[in-house]
Chains A and B, each alone.
Chain A
Amino acid sequence: MHAMHTGKFSRADFTGGTLRGLTGFACVIIIAIVAVIVGNIVYHGIGNLSWEFLSEPPRKHFTEGGIFPAIFGTAALVILMTIAVIPLGVATAIYMHEYASKRSRVVHLVRLAIQNLAGVPAIVFGLFGVGFFIEFVGRGLDRGLYGGALVYGQPAILWAALTMALLTLPTVVVATEEALRAIPQGYREVAYSLGATKWQMIRKVVLPQAAGGILTGGILAVSRGSGEVAPVMFTGAAYALPDLPSRLNDQFMELGYHVYVMSTQAFDVEATKPALYSTVLVLLLLTFSLNFTAIMIRARIRRRLRNGR
């Protein structure tokens, strides 16, 4: 699409072309930034990566050994988080899409709450975890069940997982809703015409059809949950632990928090660097592969929505 009036190369064309080039340059800068970050981390992190690094606990102020406790702790955290967030998020989406009428005030409110929950800073979730889960619920449990002994009124993997579940709730709701929208209305009508009750229809038609979307939401939530640090740094994550967490009120090590600890509190920065880079690489690979899987599933759902199958 060049100048309509051919012949002379006008001044407007020249400035237009330059400015248009500048917007293209902005794209190039963004792509370059991503390439530099990922490239730098892969380049420095790959050398130290080994089976030992993934399967051993850290030794000598993080300079030797590996990150197994952090991997284990992250896995335990996201499993607990998933158990909490998937039923809650899926039920919320089903309520908005299948139960309430589209224009009802309640749906509007729930949607507003979900959108705003997505915008709450991670550190505020951390504060909430301390103020609500540890101080209110945890201390309350201790007073009621354990005669005031300190059992649940302290940082614990359970509280970290529940805090993270609230943070990732919008992700699951949005992904599930998108999948629910992709289910043709006729499927529901057929179920009803066969005499199904609403719950039977949801269980036998809607949930299986929405499985892909729920999976997408779950994977994205796990990816988010394994990288976030601010919500867990006061609710359960620990610098270094001799034992793996085995009870709900144990503390745990987390990959993201481990990166923070190694980069800011290292005894000897230079000696820690190889292990630090490799930990970052592991975290990056984990979140990227999770995101990639989720994007692939989502793309399939969107195609289906477009084709109106």
Chain B
Amino acid sequence: MRNSGLLSGGAELTTVPKAGQPGDAADKIAAGLIRGSAFIAIASLVLIFVFIGKEALPVLTSPEVKEEAGLSQLFLPQQNRAGDTTEFNWQPISDTPKYSLLPLFVGTLKVTVIAVLIAIPLAVAAALYTSEFAPSWVREVIKPCIEILAGIPSVVVGFFCLMVIASWLQAAFGWTFRLNAVTAGIGLSLAVIPIVYTVCEDAFSSVPHAFREGSIAMGASAWQTASRVVLPAAMPGVLAACILGFGRAIGETMIVLMASGNAAVISWSPADSVRTFSATIAAELGELVQGSPHYHVLFFIGAFLFVLTFIINLAGRWWVGRLQKKLQGAS
């Protein structure tokens, strides 16, 4: 980060100097406004937490909401009619609404795992190739391609899954459900690839050149250098990439909403339709009574997604920081 002293010759100033003139009124007002704006970033994050939490809280506190959708209804098996076996069901719009989160959890897990299993190997391998082996013309092609992929709106990816990929997969495998966990997982992987690739590529290219030179000088081949020197050195960055990719996959909405089939069933078969947390919010929030138990349960899911992605992002940033520290110490 070269950010200062570029023109100031030998006298490298590392801090911004104080203003030469005592500030007039305009100066003070501007400073106040700018300072205030900066705090809006912090404030909005707090507000998101507070206002989603506020609408989610009745699930834990309000007696009326708890009766229909308390924690036991959300997490424990329910006996819906006398004599029936206990089961987990997500049927919020029925005579006796059922709010078990388990089918949604299984659905989210299935789609996310499929997406990550496709995206991470592809993106890490492509990033390694770009940074270690690729001739410069390949780099000129792959980088804009990643930028394009990252720039495709997720509703377009969802559309493409729904219209094209689903048909191809069904023609190839003859699945009963045209929209299923695999279709959605493939679509989701397209959203995960750019972030994993970008973070990995940054990590690989931040490995000092001396590492590679040393390895080559000892007689190692290009692949040995890449796999046994560069990859281990950049490992915290690769891990951060995987974590951030996972976070992206959990929160992504439009792709899974359009390509997963949205059936809240518990099954481990990848060829069954699934319903995820994010798609549930998107599909159901529009057509319900504000303040109903259903409404609060959707905010409860939203709060869960917010906290989960928040932790995942912190963890990702932490690993990126580890990489920087590690390589600073090494070079």
Question: How near does chain A come to B124, taking the closest CB pair, in angstroms?
Answer: 8
* With A23-B128, A30-B142, A124-B251 as contacts: A130 and B285 at CB distance below 8 Å: yes
Q: Are A196 and B21 in contact (CB under 8 A)?
A: yes
Q: Lowest 4 A-B CB distances belong to which pairs?
A: A121-B251, A227-B153, A186-B7, A16-B223
Any chain A CB within 8 A of the CB of B93? no
Q: Are A110 and B42 in contact (CB under 8 A)?
A: yes
Q: Which residues of A contact B55 (CB under 8 A)?
A: 127, 131, 135
Stretch touching chain B among A1-9, A62-70, A144-152, A244-252: A1-9
Q: Which residues of A contact B285 (CB under 8 A)?
A: 126-127, 130, 234
Q: Are A123 and B153 in contact (CB under 8 A)?
A: no
Q: Which residues of B contact A196 (CB under 8 A)?
A: 19-21
Q: Which residues of B contact A24 (CB under 8 A)?
A: 129, 133-134, 138
Any chain B CB within 8 A of the CB of A50? no
Which chain B residues (17-62) contact chain A, with CB distance < 8 Å? 17, 19-24, 26-27, 30-31, 33-42, 44-45, 47-48, 51-52, 54-55
Residues of A within 8 A of B (CB): 1-5, 12-13, 15-17, 19-20, 22-27, 29-31, 33-34, 37-38, 40-41, 87-88, 91-92, 94-96, 98-102, 106, 109-110, 112-128, 130-132, 135-136, 166, 169, 173, 181, 184-189, 192-193, 195-203, 223, 226-230, 233-234, 256-257, 259-260, 263-264, 273, 276, 280, 283-284, 287-288, 291, 295, 305, 308-309
Any chain A CB within 8 A of the CB of B105? no
Q: Which one of A2, A114, A280, A308 contacts B41 once the chains associate, using CB atoms below 8 Å?
A: A114
* With A2-B221, A202-B30 as contacts: A127 and B299 at CB distance below 8 Å: yes
Residue of A nearest to B217 (CB): A4
* With A121-B252, A127-B281 as contacts: A30 and B146 at CB distance below 8 Å: yes
Known: A128-B48, A195-B21. 9 other contacts (CB 8 A): A2-B221, A37-B152, A101-B15, A130-B285, A185-B3, A197-B27, A229-B155, A284-B153, A287-B152
Q: Which residues of A contact B22 (CB under 8 A)?
A: 197
Q: Are A123 and B34 in contact (CB under 8 A)?
A: no
Main secondary structure of the interface of A (DSSP, over half): helix
> CA separation between A256 and B13, bound complex, in Å?
48
Binary A-proximity of B210-251 (CB < 8 A = 1, otherwise 0) = 000000100101111011000000000000000010011011
Any chain A CB within 8 A of the CB of B185? no
* With A119-B309, A196-B21 as contacts: A92 and B122 at CB distance below 8 Å: no
Q: Are B286 and A26 in contact (CB under 8 A)?
A: no
Residue of A nearest to B153 (CB): A227
Q: Which one of B6, B151, B157 contacts A223 once the chains associate, using CB atoms below 8 Å?
A: B151
> CA separation between A24 and B135, bound complex, in Å?
11
Q: Are B125 and A26 in contact (CB under 8 A)?
A: yes
Q: Are B13 and A185 in contact (CB under 8 A)?
A: yes
Q: Are B309 and A188 in contact (CB under 8 A)?
A: no
Stretch touching chain A among B68-76, B83-91, B160-168: B160-168
Q: Are B3 and A181 in contact (CB under 8 A)?
A: yes
> CA separation between A31 and B51, bound complex, in Å?
42
Any chain A CB within 8 A of the CB of B5? yes
> CA separation between A201 and B17, bound complex, in Å?
12
Question: How near does chain A come to B234, taking the closest CB pair, in angstroms?
Answer: 14
Question: How near does chain A come to B59, taking the closest CB pair, in angstroms?
Answer: 14
Question: How near does chain B come to A34, taking the closest CB pair, in angstroms?
Answer: 5
Q: Mind listing 30 A-B residue pairs with CB under 8 Å? A: A1-B222, A20-B222, A23-B126, A26-B122, A27-B126, A88-B40, A92-B41, A99-B31, A101-B15, A116-B45, A119-B312, A120-B45, A120-B48, A120-B251, A121-B305, A121-B306, A126-B282, A127-B55, A128-B52, A169-B44, A185-B7, A185-B8, A201-B19, A228-B154, A260-B257, A263-B163, A280-B156, A291-B148, A305-B2, A309-B6
Residue of B nearest to A103 (CB): B15
Q: Are A23 and B133 in contact (CB under 8 A)?
A: yes
Residues of B within 8 A of A (CB): 1-8, 13-17, 19-24, 26-27, 30-31, 33-42, 44-45, 47-48, 51-52, 54-55, 121-123, 125-126, 128-130, 132-134, 138, 141-142, 145-149, 151-160, 162-164, 190, 193, 197, 216, 219, 221-224, 226-227, 244, 247-248, 250-254, 257-258, 278, 281-282, 285-286, 290, 298-299, 302, 305-306, 309-310, 312-314, 316-317
Q: Which one of A12, A38, A41, A199 contacts B221 once the chains associate, using CB atoms below 8 Å?
A: A12
> CA separation between A199 and B33, bound complex, in Å?
11
Q: Which residues of B contact A102 (CB under 8 A)?
A: 14-15
Residue of A nearest to B193 (CB): A30
> CA separation between A259 and B163, bound complex, in Å?
12
**Most chain-A Cβ atoms within 10 A of its Cβ — which of B6, B122, B247?**
B6
Q: Which one of A1, A33, A135, A173 contacts B149 once the chains associate, using CB atoms below 8 Å?
A: A33
Residue of A nearest to B41 (CB): A113
Question: How near does chain A come to B37, taking the closest CB pair, in angstroms?
Answer: 3
> CA separation between A41 and B157, bound complex, in Å?
11
Q: Are B122 and A121 in contact (CB under 8 A)?
A: no
Q: Which residues of A contact B190 (CB under 8 A)?
A: 33, 37
> CA separation between A3 and B222, bound complex, in Å?
9
